[in-house]
Homo-oligomer: A and B are copies of this chain.
């Protein structure tokens, strides 16, 4: 099985880039919630191609039809299915892909896996287009979380190896990042980057030790976003260069008597469990492998090495479009987490305690 995630809130994605459409089923969403469908559409528009610098000009309506799970404007508790029809096909662009796998894409691995039965048009089920279904589901989760005081935001922290110090446009870029992307586009190339995501408002005491920890559960969905090749929490890889006395976060009571840490190198997660501090993680997003430059590959039909020039329109940088996808993934993970059994109330025989 490829395309399901979640314990209490389960998301299943389906569809192919150039098939009838793509979509999702979201099972376990709380009943009785009245989603704001206009806000949902606005969220999805952030992922849509053409909306951000460096993105492809492919036009997608990306308007989901909600097939189930809503009644009189409220969620029913039954699975919420949504379908986004495909429209703007250029399958001819991809005619040779069955024979010549694109470097950096899933083509070769999928061909081996499926005995050559995979849908090779536009990456098929492995296309980034599938993330539209993730954004649909994530937008619902974000709205529900907001009603519970949980907020999720992200920012681009690096493009092409350069730190993004300032957010001067709607895509979260600064002038240098935009220029880095444009330079790659001029060269028929692409650049990657890093997205940071922060979840505030999660209460302390959620998650489990060892294999069902918050890091495990967030990583398991964030690595489901195509192009993500690294995930770190809190100080992450940089923290591995610190001493314990630098990386440990001191506990202190705040003015309201709540326990806080003075720093947040732990990224809101200690021993797999939320500490009540913001959950912070970063995702490394590789440069999109679809580039115009001629590349080296193999022809699986002739058994010979060959060159490959990929035609068509490509994003020079998918990082800005990945931001809502990362937020959506975080939202689903966070809501799945909150639907676990809540922390245990203090037992009556614990007379003295302030937590």
Closest chain B residue to A101, Cβ basis: B251
Question: Cβ of A114: which chain B residues have Cβ within 8 Å of it?
Answer: 31-32, 76-77, 205, 343-344
Name A242's contact: one of B116, B187, B192, B211 (CB within 8 Å): B192
How many residues on chain A are close to B (CB under 8 Å)? 170
| A168 part of interface (Cβ distance < 8 Å) | no
Asked if A243 meets B81 with Cβ closer than 8 Å, knowing A14-B25, A266-B104, the reply is no
CB <8 Å contact, B190 and A210: no
CA distance A223 to B271 in the complex (A): 10
| A172 part of interface (Cβ distance < 8 Å) | no
Distance from A246 Cβ to chain B, minimum over Cβ atoms (Å): 8
Question: Cβ of A247: which chain B residues have Cβ within 8 Å of it?
Answer: 104, 192, 286-287, 289
CA distance A52 to B138 in the complex (A): 43
CB <8 Å contact, B15 and A251: no
Question: Cβ of A291: which chain B residues have Cβ within 8 Å of it?
Answer: 244-245, 248
| A92 part of interface (Cβ distance < 8 Å) | no
Name A347's contact: one of B9, B16, B32 (CB within 8 Å): B32
Near B by CB (< 8 A), chain A positions 243-294 give 243-253, 257, 259, 261-262, 265-267, 269-276, 284-291, 293
Distance from A13 Cβ to chain B, minimum over Cβ atoms (Å): 6
Distance from A234 Cβ to chain B, minimum over Cβ atoms (Å): 6
Name A240's contact: one of B23, B67, B229, B250 (CB within 8 Å): B229
| A27 part of interface (Cβ distance < 8 Å) | yes
| A66 part of interface (Cβ distance < 8 Å) | yes
Interface centre among A223, A289, A353 (most CB of B within 10 A): A223
CB <8 Å contact, A191 and B25: no
CA distance A4 to B18 in the complex (A): 26
CB <8 Å contact, B219 and A20: no
CA distance A272 to B5 in the complex (A): 14
CB <8 Å contact, B4 and A27: yes
CA distance A217 to B119 in the complex (A): 24
CB <8 Å contact, B305 and A253: yes
CB <8 Å contact, A68 and B125: yes
| A69 part of interface (Cβ distance < 8 Å) | yes
Contact bitstring A333-347, B, C-beta under 8 A = 1, else 0: 000000111011111
Name A1's contact: one of B8, B81, B223, B234 (CB within 8 Å): B8
Question: Cβ of A250: which chain B residues have Cβ within 8 Å of it?
Answer: 103, 295-297
Near B by CB (< 8 A), chain A positions 202-255 give 204-213, 215-217, 219-221, 223-224, 226, 228-237, 239-253
Question: Cβ of A347: which chain B residues have Cβ within 8 Å of it?
Answer: 32, 74, 115-117
Question: Cβ of A230: which chain B residues have Cβ within 8 Å of it?
Answer: 230-233, 236-237, 239-240
Closest chain B residue to A355, Cβ basis: B300
Q: Which of A36-44, A55-63, A105-113 contacts B (4 or more CB under 8 A)?
A: A105-113
